[in-house]
Amino acid sequence: MSMKNNEKVCIAFLLAKVHHKLRHRLNQKLRKYDLTIEQRQILLRLFTFGAMSQRELCEKTLTEPSNITITLKRMEQRGYIQKVKHPKDKRALLIEATEKAFKLQKTLEELGRNTTKNFLGDIEQSKIDTTIEVLQQMYKNELDIELNDVVTREIFN
């Protein structure tokens, strides 16, 4: 990779740029369905795992509870999800995809695949595989650091 004006390439900045462009492109494509990337992700998890609690949905989508509440409300208003009583705990509610959402399942899945495929263009598969391995290792390293921080706090507090 050539460096312009002898600038060092900052991997965090580059990752953020790619992430931003990919989100923008996918959000553009989702606009005609009145959905956002976050809403698509929620639906994909519901398609895969079935009805689940809001807490489980947060865990599966890596979303903060405070952020998911308004997202779910909008999705419910647009007819993509519905809340149903938990079969074992009548006080609890489960979130499930509606028939309207299921009619879009293949489209939403293909949209993601096609957007990623177009984004990757003609990059060699071996380079893609290496990038995935590096990103997975970076993520694991950060998890290890977080775990170490938690253990250190528990020891010294």
Say whether 9 sits in a helix, a strand or coil.
coil
| Burial readout 93-130 (b: 16 or more C-beta within 10 A, e: otherwise) | ebbebbeebeebeeebeebbeebeeeeeeeeeeeeeee
Q: Are 55 and 93 spatial neighbours (Cβ–Cβ below 8 Å)?
A: no
Percent of the chain scoring above 70 in pLDDT: 93
pLDDT of residue 157: 67
Kindly report the average pLDDT of the chain as a whole number.
90
Q: Indicate if the pLDDT at residue 134 is higher than 80.
A: yes
Q: 106-128: per-residue pLDDT in tens?
A: 999 999 999 999 989 999 999 99
Distance CA 76, CA 135 (A): 34
Q: Indicate if the pLDDT at residue 144 is higher than 80.
A: yes
Phi first, then psi, for residue 7 (nearest 5°) are -75, 140
The architecture that CATH gives domain 11-121 is Orthogonal Bundle (1.10)
Q: How confident is the model at residue 4 (pLDDT cuts 50, 70, 90)?
A: low
Q: 79-102: per-residue pLDDT in tens?
A: 999 999 988 888 889 999 999 999
**Average pLDDT rounded to a whole number, residues 55-74:** 93
Distance CA 94, CA 123 (A): 42
Against a cut of 0.85, is the pTM above it? Answer: no
Per domain, the residue ranges of the chain are 11-121, 123-157
